[in-house]
Amino acid sequence: MTTPVPHEPSPHSGASLVPAPGRLSAGPSGGGRCSIDGATTIEAAPGTEGVARWLRTTVGAATGYPLPPSHGEDAPRIVLRISPEPGGEPDGPEAYRLSAAGRRVVVGGASAAGVFWGAQTLRQLLGPDAFRRAPVTVRDAWEFPAVTIHDRPRFRWRGLLLDVARHFMPKDGVLRYLDLMAAHKLNVLHLHLTDDQGWRLPVERYPRLTGAGSWRPRTKFGHRASPLWEEKPHGGHYTRDDIREIVAYAAERHITVVPEIDVPGHSQAAIAAYPELGNTDVVDTASLTVWDDWGISPNVLAPTDATLRFYEHVLEEVLELFPSRYVHVGGDECPKDQWRRSPTAQARIAELGLADEDGLQAWFVGHFGRWLSERGRRLVGWDEILQGGPPEGATVSSWRGRAGGVAAARAGHDVVMCPEQEVYLDHRQAPGDDEPVPIGWVRTLEDVYRFEPVPPELEPEHARHVLGAQANLWSEVTEDQNRVDYQAFPRLAAFAEVAWSALPAPAERDFADFEQRMSAHYRRLDALGVAYRPPTGPLPWQRRPGVRGRPLDGPPPVR
Ligand code: ACM
């Protein structure tokens, strides 16, 4: 037992910034106030016009101030500029320095991204009402204590996975999450677009992928053990213009959208749409439907040339729509039973001289690794791609704990750490039986705050392969925006601080200080309309009595 000590507020507590900045001091000259008002202009250096636009649409809307472009030296202003090393030291492209005093705010970033993160900090400094979309009161000025901040991210991959396949998230929901990510300085949206239960990406060449593959006649309500079904069709998909809009909206917020097309498992929706993609020599794939249960479907892709060509065509359209250098091809949880029984798959194993079905999966994924690198892109896969050897240059999402990430980094692969035991946000966040549809491990706000992306066992020379961390929010039990919000928040705020801020080792992290800053941050989330889990537990309408998740004291979850 540790003795509780009275908590000393840290220098971060006053401004209550989340994630905590690197260095914050009162100033520039040790005190005073800063304000913006109806006369404030924006002086945007070339390259920062997007940040100025963002400030007008958010802070401008919340304050009611027009924030026009500056003309004239004397106007009170927000100055946006790009300066190569805003901290006076090589801080990386996303670093920024913010100084605010009197009627002047200067945000200097190492790149436009740095300026954008500085603008996010400015919005937090202005107070919770700066997160509303219209002024709640007319104010002569918005004031906050003068401050100087030097800040930069710890990691360059600060990700969130949204699973829009199990339950579709309409376009507006994705745009809203991009705003929520930006407010927390997260910069990678991993969009899980395809799975057994639905295909959400439009593919012009194969219209049945969304035509038949994007909806199911009913849905299991609760997790797999639940006997409840919702007898109502569930579905939806994006249009190509929706995707273009999502990508552009993300880019304006310095967020990369990494698309995931999951192969060769998690593919029943695609097989239901195009039965020839499945193992037709061992299953009657023509009778398959989009899956209406949770878990891992045994129906996986056939390892044939025709399947490879089909997915090359799909990926050609993916590359057209998504500029991301990284393209995720899944590779997780591919049951090998059909391949064991399939003469076609066995003939392929023999023809390629492979040891077994794991080798066949490695060959399948490896094909797309080469295909993507020939096109200047990089394959990302779940850590199962390590079995049988990952493609050269592949990046690994380490989800079954840390071991995959450690092995991959030691072998010279970049890794993104997203261990399910620590940062799966669909898992319950408290042990109480009033948690809505509780699944997985209990991972509290504090647990997430003490998540360490760099595995302690990893040698320093390999740690540079840890690109960063990602929180994954699977959607089997989150059927609408409120449920997604409940699972994501407040834990995503803790995760963002882990990914952005230079925190000490987990045991030394000042969770009391974080909680104190969170009390201000909850007011920001309120203004943003986020249906987070209150620290006191679920509100009555956030509970889901009678809907089964996993037994509270049951074995570790199997997805
Ligand atoms: C996963 O959770 N199957 C990546």
Query: Which one of 333, 385, 417, 441 would you pick to mutate in the ligand 1 pocket, going by the greatest count of ligand atoms within 8 A of its CB?
Result: 333
What values do phi and psi take at 149, rounded to 5?
A: -130, 135
Tally the C-alpha atoms within 13 A of residue 371's C-alpha that lie toward its C-beta: 20
Q: What confidence tier does 188 reach under pLDDT thresholds 50, 70, 90? A: very high
What values do phi and psi take at 57, rounded to 5?
A: -75, -20
Query: Which one of 332, 383, 475 would you pick to mutate in the ligand 1 pocket, going by the greatest count of ligand atoms within 8 A of its CB?
Result: 332
Provide, rounded to the nearest whole percent, the portion of the chain with pLDDT above 90.
89
Atom of ligand 1 nearest to the CA of 472: 2
Instruction: Please tell me the residue having the least CA distance from ligand 1 atom 3.
Output: 332
The Å distance, Cα 384 to ligand 1 centre, comes to: 10
Q: For 134-230, where are the alpha helices, taking DSSP H only? A: 171-183, 208-211
Handedness of CA 274, 275, 276, 279 (dihedral sign): positive
Average pLDDT estimate for 514-534: 98
Assess whether the C-beta atom of 485 lies below 6 angstroms from ligand 1: no
Say how far apart CA 13 and CA 415 lie, in whole Å.
33
Atom of ligand 1 nearest to the CA of 333: 3
- Would you state the structure tokens that stand for residue 52, as one six-digit string? 């100025």
What is the fold, at CATH topology level, of the domain defined by 23-151? Chitobiase; domain 2 (3.30.379)
Assess whether the C-beta atom of 399 lies below 6 angstroms from ligand 1: yes
What values do phi and psi take at 141, rounded to 5?
A: -160, 155
Contacts of 223 (CB under 8 A, 6+ apart): 294, 437, 439, 476, 477, 548, 549, 550
Q: Please tell me the predicted confidence (pLDDT) of residue 158.
A: 98
Atom of ligand 1 nearest to the CA of 382: 4
Where in the sequence numbering do the catalytic residues fall?
Answer: 195, 266, 333
**DSSP string across 76-117:** -EEEEEE-S-TTSS---TT-EEEEEEBTEEEEEESSHHHHHH
List of long-range contacts for 452-461, beta carbons under 8 Å, 24+ apart: 452/498, 452/505, 452/506, 453/155, 453/417, 453/498, 453/499, 454/417, 455/402, 455/405, 455/406, 455/417, 457/402, 457/406, 458/405, 458/406, 458/409, 458/410, 459/410
Q: Please tell me the predicted confidence (pLDDT) of residue 179.
A: 98
The Å distance, Cα 399 to ligand 1 centre, comes to: 6
Q: What confidence tier does 239 reach under pLDDT thresholds 50, 70, 90? A: very high
User: Residues 258, 251, 256, CA angle at the centre, nearest 5°?
Assistant: 20
Q: For 387-415, write each residue's pLDDT tens digit.
A: 988 999 999 999 999 999 999 999 999 99
Checking if the pLDDT of 8 tops 50, the result is no
The Å distance, Cα 53 to ligand 1 centre, comes to: 37
Instruction: Please tell me the residue having the least CA distance from ligand 1 atom 2.
Output: 399
Assess whether the C-beta atom of 196 lies below 6 angstroms from ligand 1: no
- How many residues make up the chain in this entry? 559
Say how far apart CA 474 and CA 196 lie, in whole Å.
13
3-state secondary structure of 140: coil
- To the question of pTM greater than 0.85 for the whole model, the response is yes
How many H-runs (helices) and E-runs (strands) does the chain carry?
Answer: 18, 22
Burial code (b: 16+ CB inside 10 Å, e: under 16) for 319-348 equals: bebbebebbbbbbbbbebebbeebeebeeb
Enclosing H/E stretch for 249: helix 240-252
Q: Please tell me the predicted confidence (pLDDT) of residue 547.
A: 87
Query: Which one of 420, 424, 439 would you pick to mutate in the ligand 1 pocket, going by the greatest count of ligand atoms within 8 A of its CB?
Result: 420
Q: For 504-513, write each residue's pLDDT tens digit.
A: 999 999 999 9
First-to-last alpha carbon distance for the chain, in angstroms, is: 35
Assess whether the C-beta atom of 294 lies below 6 angstroms from ligand 1: no
Say how far apart CA 181 and CA 254 lie, in whole Å.
10
Mean pLDDT lowest among 85-94, 279-288, 311-320: 85-94
Closest alpha carbon to 438 in 291, 557, 541:
557
Assess whether the C-beta atom of 12 lies below 6 angstroms from ligand 1: no
Q: For 527-542, write each residue's pLDDT tens digit.
A: 999 999 999 999 999 9
The ranges assigned to domains in the chain are 23-151, 157-501+516-542
Mean pLDDT of the chain: 94
Domain 157-501+516-542, CATH class in plain words = alpha beta
Checking if the pLDDT of 82 tops 60, the result is yes
